[in-house]
């Protein structure tokens, strides 16, 4: 794993040393999982200095954690934080894979439901407590001057392994939830009526959102 | 009766009211609403469609957070009441010593820590169900105390969707024997 120190952090010699001293712990906890780690510096809303650890793996997983300097002086505490951060990075990687697969499956369904649709690929920024900020793919479908957005909302969701929202011009949201590697549509009119997402169901959801 | 049902009813009503308002704003832009439908006393009177829809979206997000807060608060009260009812059943009044013991326990139960003590007291409920409830308590705490406290606002510890929260908490109440009902029509 490559461990980098940002130029901003290098300017703060004491803090940079603190990060460098923990190279061993970092490699021990994360070395085999992440391919790249970068220590950075930022200030919080009260102007206190924080060290930021940015982790990336080869499967597009990423996680970003803020550390108060004193956290780097306690090895057991640091190990626990790094362990959680590694878990978050792996989840983001798996979550990206699931959303990629969903979008790939959806494209032909969209064109079948709305033949004149133009699909614009874009990205959306998610900010989650466990992982920090990360970008995810999103789509906007344009049809007859109207737009339907399909956007991941969160990976850490109570009762699910991720949530994607579909918002149309009529303002009716459709919520898609991932559970056990499968996608479900959460029926807004019945409690917990999770229906497996199929082509026909998705087409009818799209129709109801655009009318 | 499921004590969480009334919350779901007002949430569904409020959500649909926002949906209807969104539709009215769109129709007004198209000139398809009767004059005077949106009166000058309403906040939407002078608003452009986009601005009105943005305000409704923001209100929906707040509503979704508040409904989970209400679900968790009612769930908490139901658990405390269930413990108290159990204690009262075991210590019927009439004995000075037992009355005193019961009184002490009743006072103590009100101070049990929600996640650490109260939820864990229901040891017969599956661990996964208890953990799910604890996640919702964390989300409730974030809604109640943290979300607007920092700048920029703190993200939630976990995202919670009202229907899933209802399902999770009802599952707990069913396993604990406090209710045996899920809303009619639910899966």
Q: Round to whole Å and give the CA distance between A36 and A7.
A: 16
Interchain pair A154, B159: CB under 8 A: yes
Kindly state the tokens that stand for A75.
Answer: 């090895």
* Per-residue pLDDT, B185: 46
Please say if the pLDDT value at position A7 is more than 90: yes
* B119 φ, ψ (degrees, to nearest 5): -65, -40
Q: Round to whole Å and give the CA distance between B176 and B2.
A: 12
Which residues on chain A are in Cβ contact (under 8 Å) with B184?
none
Interchain pair B158, A157: CB under 8 A: yes
Shortest CA gap B160–chain A (Å): 5
DSSP string, B155-169: PPSSB--HHHHHHHH
Question: Closest partner residue to A191 among B8, B154, B156, by Cβ?
Answer: B8
Shortest CA gap A139–chain B (Å): 19
Across residues B161-167, what is the average pLDDT? 91
Shortest CA gap A106–chain B (Å): 23
- Each residue of A59-69: pLDDT tens digit? 889 999 999 99
Question: Which residue blocks in chain A are alpha helix, DSSP H?
Answer: 7-10, 13-21, 23-30, 75-113, 199-210
The H or E element containing residue A178 is strand A173-179
Interchain pair B166, A157: CB under 8 A: no
Kindly state the tokens that stand for A136.
Answer: 């995810």
Q: Round to whole Å and give the CA distance between B114 and A121.
A: 44
Give chain A's mean pLDDT. 90
Kindly state the tokens that stand for B14.
Answer: 């409020």
Sheet holding A62-67, edge to edge: A2-5, A36-43, A49-56, A62-67
- Each residue of A114-128: pLDDT tens digit? 999 999 999 999 999
Interchain pair B23, A156: CB under 8 A: no
Interchain pair B161, A156: CB under 8 A: no
Q: Which chain B residue is nearest to residue A175, measuring alpha carbons?
A: B161
Question: Which residue blocks in B91-161 are alpha helix, DSSP H?
Answer: 96-109, 120-121, 127-141
Please say if the pLDDT value at position A44 is more than 90: no
Across residues B32-39, what is the average pLDDT? 82
Q: Which of A132, A152, A158 to mutate to test the interface with B (most CBs of B within 10 A)?
A: A158
Q: Round to whole Å and give the CA distance between A196 and A24.
A: 46
Query: A194-196 and A163-167: which strand pairing?
Result: unpaired
* B32 φ, ψ (degrees, to nearest 5): -105, 20
- Where do we find the tokens 């133009």? A118
* Per-residue pLDDT, B183: 57
* Per-residue pLDDT, B186: 47
Calculate what percentage of chain A has a pLDDT beyond 70: 96
- Where do we find the tokens 């190279």? A23
Please say if the pLDDT value at position A172 is more than 80: no
* A110 φ, ψ (degrees, to nearest 5): -65, -45
Q: Round to whole Å and give the CA distance between A24 and A153.
A: 35
Size of interface A-B (CB pairs under 8 A): 87
- Where do we find the tokens 């040393």? A17
- Each residue of B39-60: pLDDT tens digit? 888 888 888 888 998 999 899 9
* Per-residue pLDDT, A171: 60
- C-alpha radius of gyration, chain B, whole number: 22
Q: Which chain A residue is nearest to residue B129, measuring alpha carbons?
A: A159
Q: Round to whole Å and give the CA distance between A181 and B106.
A: 46
Q: Round to whole Å and give the CA distance between B80 and B118.
A: 7
Answer whether B72's CB lies under 8 Å from B27's CB: no
Q: Which chain A residue is nearest to residue B157, measuring alpha carbons?
A: A129
Please say if the pLDDT value at position B3 is more than 90: yes
Q: What angle do CA A81, B142, A37 make, to 5 degrees?
A: 25
Whether the upstream peptide bond of residue A43 has omega within 30° of 0, thus cis, is no
Q: Round to whole Å and give the CA distance between B139 and A4.
A: 35
Q: Round to whole Å and give the CA distance between A42 and B100.
A: 57
Please say if the pLDDT value at position A167 is more than 90: no
Note the pTM of the prediction, 2 decimals.
0.85
Prediction ipTM score: 0.79
Please say if the pLDDT value at position A192 is more than 80: no
* Per-residue pLDDT, A6: 95
Q: Which tops the pLDDT comparison, B19 or A88?
A: A88
Across residues A78-82, what is the average pLDDT? 95
Interchain pair A192, B167: CB under 8 A: yes
Total length of chain B: 187
* DSSP 3-state of B32: coil
Q: Which chain B residue is nearest to residue A158, measuring alpha carbons?
A: B160
- Each residue of B96-137: pLDDT tens digit? 999 999 999 999 999 999 999 999 999 999 999 999 999 999
* Per-residue pLDDT, B27: 83
């Amino acid at each position: 794993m490559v461990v980098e120190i940002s130029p901003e952090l290098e300017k703060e010699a004491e803090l940079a040393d603190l990060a460098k001293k923990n190279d061993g712990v970092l490699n021990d906890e994360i070395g085999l999982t992440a391919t790249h780690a970068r220590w950075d510096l930022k200030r919080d809303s009260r102007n206190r200095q924080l060290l930021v650890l940015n982790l990336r793996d080869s499967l597009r997983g990423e996680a970003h954690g803020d550390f108060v300097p004193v956290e780097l002086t306690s090895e057991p505490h640091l190990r626990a934080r790094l362990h959680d951060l590694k878990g978050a990075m792996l989840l983001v990687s798996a979550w990206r894979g699931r959303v990629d697969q969903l979008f790939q499956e959806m494209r032909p369904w969209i064109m079948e439901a709305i033949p004149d649709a133009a699909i614009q690929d874009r990205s959306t920024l998610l900010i989650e407590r466990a992982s920090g900020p990360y970008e995810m793919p999103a789509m906007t479908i344009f049809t007859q001057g109207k737009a339907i957005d399909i956007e991941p909302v969160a990976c850490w969701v109570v009762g699910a392994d991720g949530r994607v929202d579909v918002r149309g011009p009529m303002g009716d949201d459709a919520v898609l939830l991932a559970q056990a590697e499968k996608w479900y549509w959460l029926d807004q009119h019945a409690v917990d009526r999770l229906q497996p997402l199929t082509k026909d169901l998705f087409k009818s959801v799209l129709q109801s959102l655009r009318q | 009766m499921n004590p969480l049902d009334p919350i779901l009813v007002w949430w569904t009503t409020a959500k649909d009211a926002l949906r209807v308002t969104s539709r009215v704003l769109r129709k007004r832009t198209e000139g398809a609403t009767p004059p005077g439908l949106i009166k000058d006393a309403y906040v939407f009177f002078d608003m452009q469609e986009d601005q009105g829809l943005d305000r409704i979206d923001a209100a929906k997000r707040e509503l979704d957070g508040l409904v989970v807060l209400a679900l968790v608060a009612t769930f908490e009260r139901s658990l405390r009441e269930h413990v108290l009812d159990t204690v009262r059943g075991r210590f019927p009044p009439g004995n000075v010593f037992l009355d005193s013991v019961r009184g002490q326990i009743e006072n103590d139960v009100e101070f049990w820590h929600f996640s650490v003590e109260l939820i864990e007291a229901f040891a017969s409920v599956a661990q996964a169900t208890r953990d799910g409830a604890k996640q919702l308590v964390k989300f409730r705490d974030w809604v109640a105390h943290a979300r607007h406290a920092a700048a920029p606002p703190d993200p939630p510890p976990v995202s919670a969707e009202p229907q899933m929260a209802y399902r999770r908490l009802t599952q707990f109440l069913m396993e604990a024997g406090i209710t045996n009902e899920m809303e009619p029509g639910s899966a």
